[in-house]
Amino acid sequence: MRIAETVTFGGSGLNRAAELRGDAARQQALWREGRVLTLWRGKPLIAGGSAIAWLASDAPLSGMAETSIFLGFSDDTPVFAQDVSHWVPEQTLAAQAGFFDTQIQTHPDLPPDQGFQDLRAVMTDLSPRDAELAATARGLIEWHRSHGFCASCGARSQMTNAGWQCRCPACAASHFPRTDPVVIMLITHGNRLLLGRGPTWPEGMYSLLAGFMEPGETVEAAVRREVYEESGIRVGQVGYLASQPWPFPASLMIGCRGAALTDAITIDPEELADARWVTREDMVSVYAGNHPVVKPGRLGAIARFLIDAWLADTLD
Ligand SMILES: [Zn+2]
């Protein structure tokens, strides 16, 4: 797919400079001249709703190089990520229901147009570089937050390698940031596309079927298994289209297409509330807001990206 990497979080060619991660003296020097992407409880600090709000490494909110994560070089400037989740605002915003949080948490030491925002609320407004940096930072910080203890022996593990590794001081095991592969598939039968909706989704929300890969499974086998489990449809040929890092908290969405061999739908009610075949003409009416059941998918998600490409005939 020629346009594969134009998907949101699709990659901006960031120089991650992995060879410098283990050089502690160099990391200290880079930190002093670097800029810092700051996250609070999983939300990056955003300026004006459309760009990363960079802090200097000597800004009051910035911490120490030993607890920050080296992301690489952006336009020759060293860039780091740090987590300030320990900060407790005077007024905490109430938790918000739904797929993502639209609230902005401001900080008394920062300009009023800067705030901590759910990455999903701003992801389509960020530049490709800012999107890649924010996704990388969020993925790494979430991994550290949820993997503070050694998976082998249970001792508290220590961040090393500029944040890209954890090492256990008790048993010397090394742990690396995990990414969980998910297959998401554009299943077609002639002129029709298969869409489904989860039992808890908002009214009218439909998407491509998707599911986590299992150990010992190829991407192709995962596509066929998930589609059969969820919809009862048998899939033949499977091909790769595009991938999307999805750091909520640690997925890699692997976008595939698959040709259905059968078309009778039997849903698994645990997984889906509905599944249906939608023609290209139906999808045009979905996007025009005229479809009686299906609403357009969310911009920024790979499902919408693949459906748009299917409709525009730009999958190749
Ligand atoms: Zn251990």
pLDDT (tens digit, 9 = 90+) per residue, 69-128? 999 999 999 999 999 998 888 877 777 666 778 889 999 999 999 999 999 999 999 999
Residue 11: predicted pLDDT: 87
- Give residue 148 CA to ligand 1 midpoint distance, Å: 11
- The residue to which tokens 């802090």 are assigned: 55
Backbone angles phi and psi of 153, in degrees to 5: -125, -10
- Give residue 212 CA to ligand 1 midpoint distance, Å: 27
Q: What helix, strand, coil percent values describe the chain, rounded to 5? A: 25, 30, 45
- Asked if residues 91 and 47 have their Cβ atoms less than 8 Å apart, the reply is no
Which residues have CB less than 5 Å away from ligand 1 (the ion)? 150, 152-153, 155, 168, 170-171, 173
- Tens digits of residue pLDDT in 9-42: 998 999 999 999 999 999 999 999 999 999 999 9
Average pLDDT taken over every residue of the chain: 94
Share of the chain above pLDDT 70, in %: 97
- Give residue 147 CA to ligand 1 midpoint distance, Å: 12
Residue 221: predicted pLDDT: 98
Q: pLDDT band at 63, cuts 50/70/90?
A: confident
Length of the chain: 316
- Give residue 169 CA to ligand 1 midpoint distance, Å: 7
- Tens digits of residue pLDDT in 159-201: 999 999 999 999 999 999 999 999 999 999 999 999 999 999 9
- Report angle CA 285, 302, 187 to the nearest 5 degrees: 65
Residue 106: predicted pLDDT: 93
Q: pLDDT band at 66, cuts 50/70/90?
A: low
- Give residue 178 CA to ligand 1 midpoint distance, Å: 17
The beta-strand segments (E) located in 104-250 are: 104-105, 114-117, 158-160, 165-167, 174-175, 180-189, 192-197, 209-212, 235-246
The overall pTM is greater than 0.85: yes
Residue 238: predicted pLDDT: 98
**Which 8-state DSSP code applies to residue 61?**
T
Residue 243: predicted pLDDT: 97
